[in-house]
Copies of this chain bind each other. A is one copy, B any other.
């Protein structure tokens, strides 16, 4: 616990930086239809934890890269995460009325606007990534790898595939393997991308980028299991959604398969393994990544 205060400050600093950078990306003068501008900003600024941008920046800094150079990709991954939430919340999908304690995008702006705001956020994320090269001179080859990875990890073989499997799973999920496939692609894929992208910006070796991928795979799964646990035993005001909402929707979760305490032990095991891989990865300064892994395991919302 003795390093939680510093990591909290580090995380808050990055969260504040992201909020201002995302605001600057969409100035009032931005030439798009006003309703689109408003609905994109509404969900982007709805008070997310900015965990994925944090991972981009922490991985970049662990590899000796500059925070400024990581910002365009950090903004991009938050846009992709936000688009996925806006579309997941739609009536045709999870049909959620609240997200982070606020009415969901389609509740405020309507379904058509929510679909298009999601499409716009996803598309503009790729524009933002290119700015790492345009504004900070990240070599084109590295930026190409980041674009390729995002299209892979957020696309049909990645996050979207996980969402489809989750939709189908609601008609009856029968094995832990099916649940892990959904968790891996719905959650871990974008976390893995964030860490690998930070490594690319810093110019990490392929071996280091593979270590970042494995770290992301493990903390991503641990994060999702922790979500399942918190949804069963968490504090509504902190979660921003009704506790046991998944249970009400008869969603099958990790504790459902292996029980609550074994789920907690699995979070600990995955976190320890993630930290080991990073510790042995020859990074300039892995400390922030290690602290983030501990922080995520200990979070209560």
For chain A residues 47-71, which have a beta carbon within 8 Å of chain B?
A: none
Neighbour of A33 across the interface among B36, B90, B118, B164, CB < 8 A: B164
Q: B residues within 8 A CB of A92?
A: 110-112, 115
Binary B-proximity of A3-41 (CB < 8 A = 1, otherwise 0): 000000000000000000000000000111101110010
Q: Are A156 and B112 in contact (CB under 8 A)?
A: no
CB of A91, distance to nearest CB on chain B (Å): 8
Task: Say whether A130 faces chain B, with CB atoms less than 8 Å apart.
Answer: yes
Q: Which of A113, A148, A152 has the largest count of B CB atoms less than 10 A from its CB? A: A148
Chain A stretch 153-167: residues in CB contact (< 8 A) with chain B: 154-157, 160-161, 163-165, 167
Q: Which residue of the partner chain B has the closest CB to A129?
A: B147
**Inside 8 A of A156's CB, which chain B residues have their CB?**
32, 36-37, 40, 120, 123-124
Residues of B close to A35: CB separation below 8 A: 164, 168
Chain B residues whose C-beta falls within 8 Å of the C-beta of A123 in the assembled complex: 122, 150-151, 154-156, 160
The minimal Cβ–Cβ distance linking A163 to chain B, given in whole angstroms, is 6
**Interface of chain A, main secondary structure:** helix
Chain copies in the assembled complex: 2
- The residue that A140 contacts in the complex, of B112, B116, B140, with Cβ under 8 A, is B140
How many residues from A make CB contacts under 8 Å with B? 53
Candidate in A123, A141, A157 with the most chain B CB atoms within 10 angstroms:
A123
- CB of A219 within 8 A of chain B? no
Separation of A133 and B141 alpha carbons in the complex (Å): 9
**Residues A127 and B155 in contact in the complex (CB < 8 Å), given A33-B164, A120-B160, A168-B33:** yes
Q: Which of B33, B122, B133, B152 is A165 in contact with, Cβ under 8 Å?
A: B33
Residues of B within 8 A of A154 (CB): 123
Asked if A143 is at the interface of the complex by the 8 Å CB criterion, the answer is yes
Which parts of A179-237 form the interface with B (CB within 8 Å)? none
Known: A126-B126, A160-B120, A161-B32. A115 touches B140 (CB 8 A): no
**Interchain nearest-CB distance for A96 vs B (Å):** 13
Could you say which residues of chain B place their CB within 8 Å of the CB of A31? 157
Q: Are B116 and A119 in contact (CB under 8 A)?
A: no
Cα–Cα distance between A139 and B141 once the two chains are bound (Å):
9
By the criterion CB–CB under 8 Å, are A130 and B115 in contact? no
Residues of B within 8 A of A160 (CB): 36, 116, 119-120, 123
Distance of A168 from chain B, by nearest CB (Å): 7
**A36-B156, A40-B156 known; A148+B127 contact, CB < 8 A:** yes
> Nearest 9 A-B pairs (CB), nearest first?
A127-B151, A92-B111, A140-B140, A123-B155, A120-B156, A126-B151, A130-B148, A33-B164, A120-B160
User: Could you show 16 A-B contacts with beta carbons less than 8 Å apart?
Assistant: A33-B165, A36-B164, A37-B156, A92-B110, A92-B111, A112-B167, A116-B160, A116-B167, A122-B123, A123-B160, A125-B151, A126-B147, A127-B151, A129-B147, A130-B144, A147-B147
